[in-house]
Amino acid sequence: MTEFAFDLNNIWFILLGVLLIGYAILDGFDLGVGALHLFAKTDEDRRIMINSIGPVWDGNEVWLITGGGAMFAAFPHVYATVFSGFYLAMMLLLVGLIFRAVSLEFRSKRPMKWWRDTWDIAFSVSSILIPLLMGVALGNIIIGIPVDQTKEYVGGFFNLLNPYALLFGITTVALFVMHGALYISMKTEGNLHEKTKIWARNSSIVFVILYIMTTISTLYIPHMIAPFKQTPILAIFILLSMLTIANISRTIRLSNYKDAFLSSSLSIAILMILVGIGLHPNLVISTLDPAFNLTIYNAASSQKTLGIMLTIALIGMPLVIVYFSVIYRVFRGKVKLDSTSY
Amino acid sequence: MEVELLARLQFAITVMFHYIYPPMSIGLGLLLVIMEGLYLKTNNKLYENMTKFFVKIFALTFAIGVATGIVMEFEFGTNWATYSRYVGDVFGSPLAAEGVFAFFLESGFLGILIFGWKKVSPKFHFFSTIMVSFGSMLSAVWIIVANTWMQTPAGYHIVGEGLNARAEITDFWAMVFNPFFVDTFTHVISAAWLTGASVVIAVAGYYILKGIHLDFAKSSLKIALILACTASLLQLFTGHHSAIGVAKYQPTKLAAYEAHYDSTKPADLYIFGWVNEGEKTVIGVAIPKMLSVLVGGDPNTTVKGINDFKSEELPPINFVFQTYHLMVAIGMALIGLSFLTLLLLWNKKLFDTKNPLIKLYLLILILFPLLPQAGNQLGWISSEVGRQPWIVYGLLKTNEAISKSVGAGEVLFSMILFTLIYILLFALFMYLLIEKVKQGPEEPEIISSEELTEKTI
């Protein structure tokens, strides 16, 4: 990690991180609830699962859309290199996103069992596929990809399926499943709640194991460790991530799902911060030659654009916080099905 | 097939399918504000049922609009990476603004619109409906900023050379209010209002034909027709202004729209015709001097002909000519049909279902949405094909803009994948829409789990 100055490029590195963290915390639980969907067995329980995220999932997904747009505007070379380089993975991701959206919307609109069962499967599979692909993509960014001097990706598709990236992908799925299980535990009561408690406990165990494996694997990636060696105070984030994750397990044991969900959200943020520290000032690391890395400087838009975008963000994001506070307040509490429900 | 053609074809398929939905959402969104406003004002349960019914249809179009819209945002990066590098500064900003300002607003409040009826006060619910409608139109603002910048680039300069050349913003507001923006935005928005109104018109037509939910049909039809008549006239006005802009800033596109091979004054306006590109002739019916009058307000205005331009900087002529003329024909038909229907509603002849002519007319009303849908698609096709060979008019050619790291095989695969998925989605959309319309405005939509066991197939 080089000198960190509060210039526009660094500000946008952070803002992009904020958008992606926001996405992971919010749509993370939507996807987790989706991944758990088939573990609910009755139609009523499945409707409760869907309605727990029904009013909020679309707004949550917008963090991804805005993140993508921000990447395009602030770091167009990264947007271009990664989206075109990971082409087939991006296409599969789009298929996942399409089916997640329409299964949610279509599922309860007809009463036939075959109709609902089919959409339930589509909903669940897509909710697992999305974080898997995103995790594999991020894993590849962390480990580095072959990028040449014209900023183009020159690997193939199968490059992307390396062990580290696959582990990172599976860990992301586990993280979101745990996060979703904690969310649904907050939103349910009765028999379904008894089930979600078990999901929460089991998924947290799986996640912790995968988190440890991923962390140890990451220790073998020199460019990820270098910033912590250079600036040891940053290791505080590693400590914080361990503490917040340990707190998830603790609060689950105490059946305090609200605090567990908050810890889970915080741990998602801290894990992303750790990734950011490791990558900075790079956004894409080239395994061919570090001179070919895409950095926050050589892959960015002009200063004027970064400035305009910052103004847009400073006006828009506080408004977004207001909208989300209002909406989550309206839909607080346990899910109860009524005539407006999915 | 080579990769540029495949990339263009895929973009065409994905954007055309996507574009079926946002205009419906924008138009229906406005109508929902009117309907719910009337409910709050009159306390008439009829308007409450109307709002709740069309909210369900709105939610359906919105969901597919979102699902297919994400594809578009990603597609600039996946298939047009070189374009993205070149214009990221300028084009990326309105897209990001669309997310920050519009998508959060509409998607956020959508939750309250659909699910919040019993959780918030009627006034706050109405506020949410207004926010969703406003958000949808704000989204149109930013995407049109992006597209019109491609047509009439402004507020930028080019930095770097050769492969490293990029456009960078010099003036944000000049970029936003580039020469085409206002005309294009107003034309697109009035088209969207017309598209939304056409859905309500079709539903009402169906109910009148069947002799059911007649009060509902009459009331909703009146609201929709007033919007349709207004919007169809706005279409004509904004379309005319847009064409004047095209004549000034994109003369090659106008040359293709109007298919005059030699520069002429006074130039005739073809109502319809056929262009023989090989022999450079046009056969058709034309209004004398009309094109010159429209372009410059004066029959002595010279309109530049196709022969004035280098052939490699021209779009395909006949294709653009036909799509453009079809769009205009549809636009005119929509004015006629909207006003005629309003008349038939006003003199109550529309309810005379014993009359075979009226029955036929009602069947046409059920098919009414096909007209604005076709008009939207044809308009965009003629505009986007008409700007070829440019991807940014005058600056970057389409064949210089594709992703370098993506091969033809990959694009063919994804193109087929999207086509199949979209065919499925369209079938499902039509199925669910028709089921909802048949169900009618008063039934509760979701069959509860207890009833499920009886109705299970």
Across the interface, whether the CB atoms of A73 and B88 are under 8 A apart is answered yes
Give the H or E element holding residue B49: helix B45-79
Chain A residues with CB-CB distance to B425 below 8 A: 98, 102
* pLDDT tens readout for residues A33-62: 999 999 999 999 999 999 999 999 999 999
What Cα–Cα distance (Å) separates residue A128 from each residue in A9, A29, B105, B155?
34, 12, 27, 44
Total domain count for chain A? 1
Q: How confident is the model at residue B456 (pLDDT cuts 50, 70, 90)?
A: very low
Q: From A43, A341, A329, A11, select the one nearest B115 (Cα to Cα).
A: A341
Tell whether the model's pLDDT for residue B444 goes beyond 70: no
- Assigned token pair, B249: 């800033």
pLDDT band for position A341 (cuts 50, 70, 90): confident
Q: Write down the domain spans for chain B.
A: 3-166+173-263+304-439
Give me the count of residues in chain B.
457
Residue B109 and residue A61: Cβ atoms within 8 Å? no
pLDDT digits (tens, 9 = 90+) for B225-261: 999 999 999 999 999 999 999 999 999 999 999 998 8
Give the one of B96, B112, B117 whose C-beta lies nearest to A70's C-beta. Answer: B96
Residue B278, pLDDT score: 86
User: Phi and psi (nearest 5°) for B139?
Assistant: -60, -40
In this prediction, residue B277 carries a pLDDT of 87
Could you say which DSSP state residue B276 is in? E
Domain assignment of residue A337, yes or no: no
Q: How confident is the model at residue B96 (pLDDT cuts 50, 70, 90)?
A: very high
Angle (CA) B48-B51-B53 rounded to 5° is: 105
* Burial of B61 from C-beta contacts in 10 A (0-12 / 13-18 / 19+): buried
Q: What is the predicted pLDDT for the residue at B299?
A: 83
Instruction: Among A236-245, B71-80, B188-197, B271-280, name the one with the lowest average pLDDT.
Output: B271-280
- Whether chain B has a CB inside 8 Å of the CB on A216: the answer is no
If DSSP codes are grouped into helix, strand and coil, which group holds residue B379? helix
- Which of A250, A331, A183, A70 has the alpha carbon at shortest distance from B128? A331
Give A-chain residues touching B92 at CB under 8 angstroms: 69, 72-74, 76, 79, 301, 305
Q: Cα-atom radius of gyration of chain B, to the nearest Å?
A: 24
Residues 6+ apart with CB under 8 A from A268: A21, A24, A25, A28, A175, A179
Pick from B431, B71, B12: nearest CA to A98: B71
- Asked if the Cβ–Cβ distance from B432 to A95 is below 8 Å, we say no
Q: Read out DSSP for B384-443?
A: HHHTTTEEETTTEEGGG-S-TT--HHHHHHHHHHHHHHHHHHHHHHHHHHHHHHHH-SSS
Q: B280: pLDDT confidence band, cut at 50, 70 and 90?
A: confident
Interface of B with A in 86-145 (CB under 8 A): 87-93, 95-101, 103-105, 107-112, 114-120
pLDDT for residue B442: 75
Using CB atoms, pick whichever of A70, A106, A317 lies closest to residue B432: A106
d(CA A142, CA A25): 20
Of A93, A95, A151, Cβ closest to residue B417: A95
Q: What is the dihedral of CA B313, B317, B320, B324, to 10 degrees?
A: 120
pLDDT of residue B450: 55
Token duo for residue B155: 């507020």
Q: Please tell me the predicted confidence (pLDDT) of residue B297.
A: 84
A1 occurs within a structural domain? no
Q: What is the CA radius of gyration of chain A?
A: 20
Round to whole Å and give the CA distance between B380 and B384: 6
Distances from the Cα of B350 to the Cαs of A12, A115, B205, B346, in angstroms? 59, 38, 9, 8
Q: Give the pLDDT score at A229.
A: 93
**Where in the sequence is the domain holding A18, given as residue range(s)?**
8-330
Q: State the Cα–Cα distance between residues B362 and B337, nearest whole angstrom.
A: 12
Least trusted range by pLDDT, from A218-232, B298-312, B437-451: B437-451
A249 to chain B, minimum CA–CA distance in Å? 32
d(CA B407, CA B7): 10
Give the Å distances, CA to CA, from A277 to A3, A215, B442: 12, 14, 56
Give tens-digit pLDDT for B107-133: 999 999 999 999 999 999 999 999 999
Q: Which residue of B has its CA nearest to A92?
A: B414
Q: What is the mean pLDDT of chain B?
A: 93
Q: Tell me the pLDDT tens digit for each residue of A275-334.
A: 999 999 999 999 999 999 999 999 999 999 999 999 999 999 999 999 999 999 999 999
